[in-house]
Amino acid sequence: MKAIVTGGAGLIGSNVAKILNAKGVDDILVVDHLRGDPLKKRNLDSFAHAAYMERDEFRAAVRAGRIEPPRVLYHLGACSSTTETDEAFLDDNNTGCTRELCEWCIANGTRFVYASSAATYGDGSLGYSDDHAGIPALQPLNLYGWSKQKFDLWALGSGAIGKIAGLKYFNVFGPGEDHKGDMRSVVAKQYAAVRDAGRISLFKSDRPGWADGCQDRDFVYVKDAAAVTVWFGEHPEACGIFNCGTGKARTWLDLAKAMFAAAGREPRVDFVDMPEKLRGKYQYHTEAETAKLRAAGCDVPFRPLEEAVADYVQTHLSRFG
């Protein structure tokens, strides 16, 4: 196999596979956990691949030596729910599995590119630098973030990070997220309301100094995040942990206005109370530092928010949303 993509029926994974197809690569083993989900199956059917394996079957096959190592393994499969409460499950599924695959790749000379997360930065009080020296001090706000942080710490402590690449994805959105339920982006969840009712709901601020709707995020279009991911697969000399973000935070109101513009509607925004389960765990600001990414030689551009939202609406949501 030229490539293995875990989470290949997911948001970033399916877009990585599409980019590989565009580069003439369809010798791809896709690994995922479909669970009969027709939306993930639709993602899987949207690109060419040589084979598919279920997550647990693949993991067992790797342990038993039944999988031929590929040139590149893009490890993007994980439980990405920020509200998951089963720590043992996350320790095994997210952290332990990543370590197993990393060690297997290093032992076999396979390029290993894996998904970390901007969730590792917690409340942002320590900044958003991807400098390795600051990573041990980070305090994620949820168990998902900790599952990513634990692997980053292992990779740094073991020295494996000098042979692999990890990407701290910021707020990725775009085609391929329909199956994610509550973890879908606001664009995906509220497009129908914008289109049909001309309204959108955003969380009120429950923090002094922050106006309603002015909490901000580093919104990253999935097509750009996938292009960065493939770039690292093609550049084994670029090793370490890197932010994958635009470097420019935008407010939720900016996002809402972009959605209304893409749908040809006048903006009307309602503000609702922050859910109790998110209070104290909600990031009010994220913004990637990108100097290290660019210094590594990655010149993949990131679309402006308005352009990204318009493309998402016109190429996907207007058909499936």
**Domains of the chain by start residue, with CATH:** 3-173+219-248+287-304 (3.40.50.720)
CA 99 to mean position of chain CA atoms: 18
**Is 312 labeled as catalytic in the residue annotation?**
no
* pLDDT attached to residue 78: 96
**Is 114 labeled as catalytic in the residue annotation?**
no
Q: Give the end-to-end CA distance of the chain in Å, rounded to a whole number.
A: 34
Q: What is the mean pLDDT of the chain?
A: 96
User: Exposure string (b/e) for 277-315, b if CB count within 10 Å is 16 or more?
Assistant: eeeeebbebbbbbbebbeebebebebbebbebbbbbbee
Q: What angle do CA 183, 103, 116 make, to 5 degrees?
A: 25
Is residue 149 predicted with pLDDT exceeding 70? yes
Catalytic residue, from 74, 128, 144, 312: name it.
144
Assigned token pair, 68: 């031929």
- Report pLDDT digits (tens) over 4-45: 999 999 999 999 999 999 999 999 999 999 988 999 999 999
* pLDDT attached to residue 191: 96
- Report pLDDT digits (tens) over 264-312: 999 999 999 999 888 877 889 999 999 999 999 999 999 999 999 999 9
CB of 173 closer than 8 Å to CB of 222: yes
Which whole number is the average pLDDT over 44-58? 98
1 — pLDDT class (breaks 50, 70, 90): confident
Rounded CA separation 203/252 (Å): 9
Rounded CA separation 228/309 (Å): 19
Catalytic residue, from 2, 41, 163, 180: name it.
180
- Residue 273 DSSP class: P
321 — pLDDT class (breaks 50, 70, 90): low
CA 239 to mean position of chain CA atoms: 19
**In this structure, how many other beta carbons lie within 10 angstroms of the beta carbon of residue 146?**
21
- Report pLDDT digits (tens) over 155-170: 999 999 999 999 999 9
